[in-house]
Amino acid sequence: MSKIKVSLTEKDNSYEVVIRRGCINDVGQELDLNRKVLIVTDEGVPAEYAEKVAACSGQPFIVTIGEGEEHKSLESFDLLLNKMLQEGFSRKDCVVAVGGGVVGDLAGFAASAYMRGVDFYNIPTTILSQVDSSVGGKTAINYGGLKNIVGAFYQPKRVLIDIDLTKTLTDRQISNGLSEALKMGMTFDAGLVNIFKRDDYMEHLEEIVTRSIELKTNVVEQDEKEAGLRKVLNFGHTIGHGIELATNEEKLYHGECVSIGMVAMSSAEVRKELIPILDRLNLPTSCDVDGEEVYRMMCHDKKASGAMVSAVFCEKVGEYKLQDVTLVSLKDRVRSVTD
């Protein structure tokens, strides 16, 4: 078990991340649930997780949204606000997310907006949300066909991580999330990368999650609003996003696109270490998507190929190089991982 403090400039916004197996069973000890509690989950999350939170709550109201990215929407946001209003939620009541990044981003945004902000607790249930999205205070919904375009920086009061909840995930979802943990190791922590070199890396899941949260916390504390260092968390994401947009989402998960993007942004030396790890994790290292299309997608929101992007390179495992480059200068790297 560990507790990681996220210390932010506004002291009131600081909070703790508690990592403890089985903590879902006694959430009442960790969170102040003796009030009205809006518990947000989705259809793909085992219903018993939200029910366990409800069992520890004073006045629980479970809202189950549809499963998948398309439900991180204005309609779902409306549903949550409506429920709180109908049930007479006040400023003193709270919202608890029980799910992956979709549920966390949506519920956090609803909590930020209702009466200008009610307490928000996050109980992430996917590896991706445990190692990445539950810390950092970014909340959002998708709107007008654009991802995360409407949202707020809103810190949770506490994050509870129970890694036993991830046992119900598919192997592919597990690898998808581990890709983001590996990403943090590649740029900040060679020791974390070494864990993935072992065949029994899943025995070390608690350490992987804990180290990832510590790394992300460290970055977020130094750069709350993404002015600099936080950009390093985008390692693998510039080309990864291009791939994500160029394929239909059914085909490749976000973490899988990031995995290919990491290969692209690594030096030849680093690739020799990275590729066997990705193979072990069953993550892709290249794709048969048209490279020109990927490049077009990368340019899409930048308007011009001469546009500058902050690119993150890895030339030594555990270290990063952050550099503003033109998109066109990344073209060869795109080609090296696409068709």
Ligand X SMILES: NC(=O)c1ccc[n+]([C@@H]2O[C@H](COP(=O)([O-])OP(=O)(O)OC[C@H]3O[C@@H](n4cnc5c(N)ncnc54)[C@H](O)[C@@H]3O)[C@@H](O)[C@H]2O)c1
Distance CA 104, CA 102 (A): 6
Distance CA 303, CA 289 (A): 22
Residue number with CB closer to ligand X (105 or 189): 105
Instruction: Provide the minimum distance between the beta carbon of 247 and ligand X in the complex, in angstroms, as a whole number.
Output: 16
Instruction: Provide the minimum distance between the beta carbon of 317 and ligand X in the complex, in angstroms, as a whole number.
Output: 22
Instruction: Provide the minimum distance between the beta carbon of 180 and ligand X in the complex, in angstroms, as a whole number.
Output: 7
Q: Does 102 bind ligand X (CB under 6 A)?
A: yes
Where are the strands (E) in the chain, listed by range?
2-6, 15-19, 36-42, 59-65, 94-99, 119-124, 138-143, 146-153, 158-161, 308-316, 319-326
Q: Does 148 bind ligand X (CB under 6 A)?
A: yes
Residue number with CB closer to ligand X (101 or 242): 101
State both tokens at 9.
């400039």
Q: Does 100 bind ligand X (CB under 6 A)?
A: yes
Distance CA 228, CA 225 (A): 9
C-alpha to C-alpha distances, 285 to 11, 101, 179, 278, 336, nearest whole angstrom: 42, 24, 11, 7, 10
Q: Does 110 bind ligand X (CB under 6 A)?
A: no
Distance CA 49, CA 158 (A): 17
Residue number with CB closer to ligand X (171 or 290): 171
The DSSP result for 269-304, as a single string, is HHHHHHHHHHHHTT--S---S-HHHHHHHHHHTTSS
Q: Does 215 bind ligand X (CB under 6 A)?
A: no
Q: Binding ligand X by CB under 6 A: which of 54, 103, 220, 334?
A: 103
Judged by CB under 6 A, the stretch of 18-26, 75-83, 132-140, 235-243 that binds ligand X is: 132-140
**Looking only at residues 185 through 204 of this chain, which bind ligand X when binding is defined by CB under 6 A?**
none
Give residue 257's identity as a one-letter amino acid code: C
Main-chain phi, psi angles of 274, to 5 degrees: -70, -45
Q: Binding ligand X by CB under 6 A: which of 32, 51, 67, 164?
A: 67
Handedness of CA 231, 237, 239, 245 (dihedral sign): negative
Q: CB 88: neighbour CB atoms within 10 A?
A: 9
Indicate the Cα dihedral angle 193, 197, 202, 203, nearest 10°: -100
Give residue 36's Cα distance to chain centre: 27
Q: Binding ligand X by CB under 6 A: which of 96, 99, 157, 235?
A: 99
Q: Binding ligand X by CB under 6 A: which of 128, 181, 184, 263?
A: 128
Q: Does 133 bind ligand X (CB under 6 A)?
A: yes
Contact 32, 119 (CB under 8 A): yes
Distance CA 1, CA 225 (A): 29
Q: Does 129 bind ligand X (CB under 6 A)?
A: yes
**Looking only at residues 21 through 50 of this chain, which bind ligand X when binding is defined by CB under 6 A?**
42, 44-46
**Looking only at residues 160 through 179 of this chain, which bind ligand X when binding is defined by CB under 6 A?**
165-166, 168-169, 173
Instruction: Provide the minimum distance between the beta carbon of 83 and ligand X in the complex, in angstroms, as a whole number.
Output: 19
Identify the CA nearest to 181 among candidates 221, 126, 139.
126
Q: Does 105 bind ligand X (CB under 6 A)?
A: yes
Compute how many residues bind ligand X; rule: CB under 6 A: 29
> Binding mask 227-266 vs ligand X (x if CB under 6 A, - otherwise)?
----------------------------------------
Q: Does 156 bind ligand X (CB under 6 A)?
A: no
Residue number with CB closer to ligand X (94 or 140): 140
Site residues (vs ligand X, CB under 6 A)? 42, 44-46, 67-69, 72, 99-103, 105, 125-126, 128-129, 132-133, 136, 138, 147-148, 165-166, 168-169, 173
